[in-house]
A and B are shown apart, each in its own frame.
Chain A
Amino acid sequence: MSYIGDVIQGTKTLLTGMNVTGKYFFKNLFTRKDVITVEYPDNIDTLKMFDRFKGEVVMYHDENNHHRCDACTLCELACPNGSIEIIWDKETDPETGKSKKVLVNHIYHLEMCTMCGLCIEACPSDAIMWGQDFHHTTTDRANLTKSLNRPGSSVIPNYVKPKK
């Protein structure tokens, strides 16, 4: 009797599968709630990319225009393409009298970046992170070379770098 049993079982499983897909079809036909697709150029003002989207590398700045980068150059060393150049200076700490590195300019070449994320993994103080902006189209190559630290920004006072 396994022949007829097979036929019945097969029909049953086919109908189960059609039930699953059919539910999605009719739900989607009447309401577009589950649709992930966005109609891109129309929603350009309200579009928010998801958090893990790799658009570009940005540097975190708090409200006092302080960042966490102490110019250790680990990201520059980690970058396989040489997309990151760090220009730093030596400065004497007025309290302790020790001299230490200070970030002058964190240069990021977006045109060479492959979004591999090795620099962000390498950073011990999470100074750089992923930004979600992807509108990078430009008519001039020079526009793609960016300075990640904002003008006039400085490292957070008395910032202690976490051990990694």
Chain B
Amino acid sequence: MITLTIITDWLMKYMSADAAFYTELVIVAAIYLAVFAIFGLFLVWMERRVAGFFQLRLGPNRVGPMGLLQTIADALKLVTKELTGTKKADSYLYRLAPYFVIVTALMSMAVLPFSAELQAFDINIGLFFIASVSSVGVIGIFLAGWASNNKYSLIGGMRTGIQMISYELSVGMVIVTMATLAGSLRMSEIVELQKDGWFIFSGHISAIIAFALFMIAGTAESNRTPFDLVEAESELGAGFHTEYSGMNFAYYFLAEFINMFIISAVAVVIFFGGWLSPFGITDSIPYMGVFWFMLKTLFIIFLMMWFRWTFPRLRIDQLLTLEWKYLIPINMVNIVLMALLVWLGLTF
């Protein structure tokens, strides 16, 4: 299942096949951890910089070229900070909660196809794997709200339960819609099928509706403004992570940005042809897949940041009205529409 054959071949020279397999797992995991810790920091920098431009400010621009090292400095500060907690907190759950969030965020990373060569874990249920693993992350947030023994954290945690479970449905239904078009759940296969035309074009009207729904539900899934009721700085302090400090807080922060990356990456895979270049313009150059994948993903991430700095936060009843009265009925109609399009052969 591991497709990084270069590493496998190299390891096979020095050890038996089994040992090579497990060593490779460890090496790949270490590389992913390191790369995505840095990439998460880059996303934090991007968020702050983009926010600056939206608000007629400059954003961080002092540490390093264009302020790129600012978030590294922030991370170093967070590492050195004391880990505090409330006196009556359930300390076992309190310490455990951040790992739920960060581990599930990193687990979804495994199945993302960065290019034809670079995919750690290519299973035949890739999309389903992401949908199911990312829904475990909600437990971490819920535990944090519960174990902090703080009313604001508890309210934040309860809101997570309402919000994430509702919007998981929409995300799942969009994935079903696109799987109907693709006829597969394997990530690499979905991308290969888009050689002749990205699904957003070949699925035309239904795919465009699905993309809009996915962006709304995805923003809600990753707890970002305008759906950040869980954190709600102005009314709940910081929601579920009010009581967290230092590295424990940094895990939540990093997980939020990695989740945003995953949502964007899934959108790129199921709508915008993953690592494929537009019209195959760079097919002759090797290793361009990662570049196109990252470019498209960063564009979707920018779109989510654009939402954040435009829309005001929804109230809890508006949030549920949006999901249950609008997104789900539209989604259901859309699945039927997509099935009809595929059945009648109206897709391009």
A interface, CB within 8 angstroms of B = 6-7, 11, 14, 17-18, 20-22, 24-25, 28-29, 32, 34-37, 39
Residues of B in contact with A, size category: 10 to 19
Chain B residue at smallest Cβ distance from A28: B53
Contact of B56 among A7, A14, A22, A28 (CB under 8 A): A28
Question: A17 CA to B54 CA in the complex, in Å?
Answer: 12
B309 within 8 A of A: yes
B interface, CB within 8 angstroms of A = 50, 53-54, 56-58, 61, 212, 306-307, 309-311, 326, 330
Known contacts A21-B310, A25-B53; is A39 also within 8 Å of B326 by CB? no
Least CB distance, A20 to chain B, in whole angstroms: 8
- Asked if residues B58 and A29 are in contact (CB atoms below 8 Å), the reply is no
- Asked if residues B306 and A18 are in contact (CB atoms below 8 Å), the reply is yes
Contact of A25 among B50, B58, B61 (CB under 8 A): B50
A selection of 27 A-B contacts at a CB cut-off of 8 Å is: A6-B326, A7-B326, A7-B330, A11-B212, A14-B310, A17-B310, A17-B311, A18-B306, A18-B307, A20-B310, A21-B54, A21-B309, A24-B54, A24-B56, A25-B50, A25-B54, A25-B309, A28-B53, A29-B53, A34-B56, A35-B58, A36-B56, A36-B57, A37-B56, A37-B57, A39-B58, A39-B61
Chain A hits for B56, CB < 8 A: 24, 28, 34-37
Chain B hits for A17, CB < 8 A: 310-311
Chain B hits for A14, CB < 8 A: 310-311
Chain B hits for A11, CB < 8 A: 212
Chain B residue at smallest Cβ distance from A7: B326
Closest 9 A-B residue pairs measured CB to CB?
A21-B310, A28-B53, A17-B310, A37-B57, A37-B58, A25-B53, A25-B54, A34-B56, A18-B310
Known contacts A7-B330, A17-B311; is A35 also within 8 Å of B306 by CB? no
Question: A58 CA to B53 CA in the complex, in Å?
Answer: 37
Question: A28 CA to B57 CA in the complex, in Å?
Answer: 9
Chain A residue at smallest Cβ distance from B49: A29
Question: A24 CA to B56 CA in the complex, in Å?
Answer: 7
Chain B residue at smallest Cβ distance from A33: B56
- Asked if residues B57 and A35 are in contact (CB atoms below 8 Å), the reply is yes
Question: A39 CA to B310 CA in the complex, in Å?
Answer: 26
Question: A145 CA to B109 CA in the complex, in Å?
Answer: 63
Question: A17 CA to B58 CA in the complex, in Å?
Answer: 22
Chain A hits for B50, CB < 8 A: 25
Chain B residue at smallest Cβ distance from A17: B310
Least CB distance, A19 to chain B, in whole angstroms: 9
Question: A37 CA to B57 CA in the complex, in Å?
Answer: 6
Chain B hits for A22, CB < 8 A: 306
Chain B residue at smallest Cβ distance from A20: B310
Chain B residue at smallest Cβ distance from A13: B311
- Asked if residues A25 and B330 are in contact (CB atoms below 8 Å), the reply is no
Question: A11 CA to B311 CA in the complex, in Å?
Answer: 12
Chain A hits for B311, CB < 8 A: 14, 17
Question: A25 CA to B61 CA in the complex, in Å?
Answer: 17
Considering residues B58, B212, B310, which has the most beta carbons from chain A within 10 angstroms of its beta carbon? Answer: B310
- Asked if residues B306 and A21 are in contact (CB atoms below 8 Å), the reply is yes
Chain A hits for B54, CB < 8 A: 21, 24-25, 28
Considering residues A7, A22, A25, A37, which has the most beta carbons from chain B within 10 angstroms of its beta carbon? Answer: A25
Chain A residue at smallest Cβ distance from B54: A25
Question: A11 CA to B53 CA in the complex, in Å?
Answer: 24
Least CB distance, B52 to chain A, in whole angstroms: 8
Least CB distance, A23 to chain B, in whole angstroms: 10
Question: A45 CA to B307 CA in the complex, in Å?
Answer: 39
Least CB distance, B277 to chain A, in whole angstroms: 25
Chain A hits for B212, CB < 8 A: 11
Chain A residue at smallest Cβ distance from B59: A37
Give 16 A-B pairs besides A20-B310, A22-B306, A28-B56 with Cβ atoms closer than 8 angstroms.
A11-B212, A14-B310, A14-B311, A17-B311, A18-B306, A18-B310, A21-B54, A21-B306, A21-B309, A24-B54, A25-B54, A28-B54, A35-B57, A36-B56, A36-B57, A39-B61
Least CB distance, B179 to chain A, in whole angstroms: 24
Least CB distance, B170 to chain A, in whole angstroms: 14
